[in-house]
Amino acid sequence: MNKTIRRAAVFTLLLVIALLVRATWVQFYDGQALADNKNNRRKAIEQYAYPLGDIVVGGNAITGSARTSGGDLAYKRTYTDGELYAAVTGYSSQVYGANQLEGIYQDLLDGTDIRLGTPVDTLTNKRADPGDVVTTIDPAVQKAGYEALGGNKGAAVAMDPVTGRILGMVSTPSYDPSTIAGSGSADAAEWQKLGKDADKPLVNRAIRQPLPPGSTFKLVVAAAALEDGVYSSVDQKTDSPDPYRLPGTVRDLENENKSAPCENASLRVALQYSCNNVFAKLAVDLGQDKVKAMAEKFGFNEEKQDVPVRAYASVYPSGMDKAQTGLSGIGQFDVTATPLQMAMVSAAIENDGVLVSPHMVSQVTDADGTVLQSYDDPGSQRIVSESTARELQSAMVTVVEEGTGTNARISGATVGGKTGTAQHGENNSKTPYAWFTSYATDSATGKQVAVAVMVEQSDAARSEVSGNGLAAPIAKAMMQAALKN
């Protein structure tokens, strides 16, 4: 073989090798990337070629799949009581993707999760039967919260303080995920309508819209004061002038109830009447670092709060001056919280100072019901001492029995709570947010529940907006349902 032919043969061989390498690369690397691309129509066709697995509440599936009448997508997602459970399920759409539980467990629900198939299925790329997601949601609690919120814009979260199980998660106004599940013109029109709605029904207000928590945050400040030893009990008198002048300003911070005994009031009385002067001064005396440390123990500033849907971080700010620190002590300035976060505060107090990680999925299973993963041991952390928790429990009971939270009373149960009316808008020009965070213990069974409610907007006159008037009755309805069941 002469040199020219030999060189041509080697060159041709190299071209063949390069072609084989490229084909292999496309097949096993680029091919998978293309298959996973959200814009790949074949991915949607494969996903909706068969019925999806279900999301389960109270032993019953609240999702399903329906055969489509035409097109290349054989099935679409359906929902039972879609508006009631939208804050739990999220949506699964042939066009707009999936979010919340539908998004997090998409591989499990469409059968592509590697835990579902056999080794042979994995090698042959055979699609396994889909699995199911079993939630912790109590249907009675969910319904009670949804109906009690009614036409108000707001949200509520109920959880078991001992196990961390989320029993109810409601956000209003809601939407029906079934109406955007398909790929038709009606689905597109509904999607556009939801996106343009000023009330933002697609936003899960329970975990995705932190707002000023107002006076409910005073529980965090009180916890910091007791843990730091500033006061030994909730009945010890404080050094709190009324009104309290914010440091470095000419602004006097007054109380809503001008006749309330807030001057030098104890923490119990200050929580009972929601005395701004006491907690603003206490935050200044403690200093922002100590208040922040306590807030972060409860979960504030946590960027990865997964339940398993990721909640937006509730915020206690840094870099404040003393006047701003004082305002932070009453849940104003740049302090924000979600209803989930404020439910966690009450849950930790009710559970004698221990916060069990909140979660709304108990287990995921395969098509035969075999448990693939269980969340029965979510982890816990001591937030405050048992003695501090007991002091705060007692003070919260006083709020409900004799103070600003009387609308949350439940016969046959011990109920503790804290109201909040958070100002917002320039010069407090907009309607305040009404808050209520609480716990209840059944006197006969010992069963416990913690609930937080936020009413962002209602039809009530501005003068009638209060935590007790708007939010406490909603919390009461959810607590009653939880204790009954």
Question: What are the pLDDT digits (tens) for 396-406?
Answer: 999 999 999 99
For residue 290, the tally of other CB atoms under 10 A from its CB is 17
Mutual orientation of helices 386-402 and 218-228 as an angle, nearest 10°?
A: 140
- Give the helix/strand (H/E) hosting 382: strand 380-382
Given the residues 174, 178, 183, 215, select the one marked as catalytic.
Answer: 215
Cite the DSSP H helix spans in 301-458: 322-328, 339-350, 386-402
Q: Which residues pair with 76 in a beta bridge?
A: 66
Position 31 pLDDT exceeds 70? no
pLDDT of residue 1: 58
Position 4 pLDDT exceeds 80? no
Position 35 pLDDT exceeds 60? no
Position 410 pLDDT exceeds 80? yes
Position 9 pLDDT exceeds 90? no
Nearest C-alpha neighbor of 253 from the set 323, 341, 354: 323
pLDDT of residue 377: 85
Cite the DSSP H helix spans in 48-125: 82-89, 100-104, 106-110, 119-124
Amino acid identity, position 297: K
pLDDT of residue 14: 76
What pLDDT, in 10s, does the model give residues 171-216? 999 999 999 999 999 999 999 999 999 999 999 999 999 999 999 9
pLDDT of residue 21: 72
What is the pLDDT confidence band of residue 47, given thresholds at 50, 70 and 90?
confident
What is the pLDDT confidence band of residue 328, given thresholds at 50, 70 and 90?
very high
For residue 438, the tally of other CB atoms under 10 A from its CB is 33
pLDDT of residue 352: 98
Percent of the chain with pLDDT over 90: 80
- Give the helix/strand (H/E) hosting 361: strand 361-365
Strand ranges (DSSP E) for 136-202?
Answer: 153-159, 166-172
Pairwise CA distance, residues 349 & 143, whole Å: 26
pLDDT of residue 41: 60
Residues counted in the chain: 485
pLDDT of residue 457: 86
Position 30 pLDDT exceeds 60? no
pLDDT of residue 262: 98
Percent of the chain with pLDDT over 70: 91
Summarize the chain as % helix, strand, coil (round to 5). Answer: 40, 20, 35
What is the pLDDT confidence band of residue 261, given thresholds at 50, 70 and 90?
very high
Pairwise CA distance, residues 426 & 30, whole Å: 53
Averaged pLDDT, 358-369 = 96
Considering the chain, what is the average pLDDT of its residues? 92
pLDDT of residue 463: 55
What is the pLDDT confidence band of residue 39, given thresholds at 50, 70 and 90?
low
Averaged pLDDT, 142-159 = 97
Averaged pLDDT, 34-40 = 55
Residues sharing a CB contact under 8 Å with residue 124, sequence separation 6 or more, in sequence order: none
What residue segments make up the domains of the chain, in order of their start? 207-359+380-484
Decide if 325 contacts 284 (C-beta within 8 A): yes
User: How far from 28 is each of 38, 41, 125, 473, CA to CA, in Å?
Assistant: 18, 19, 13, 58
Homologous superfamily of domain range 207-359+380-484? DD-peptidase/beta-lactamase superfamily (3.40.710.10)
pLDDT of residue 5: 74
What is the pLDDT confidence band of residue 46, given thresholds at 50, 70 and 90?
confident
What pLDDT, in 10s, does the model give residues 269-314? 999 999 999 999 999 999 999 999 999 999 999 999 999 999 999 9
**Is 215 known to be catalytic?**
yes
pLDDT of residue 11: 76
Q: By CB neighbour count within 10 A (0-12 exposed, 13-18 middle, 19+ buried), where does 36 fall?
A: exposed
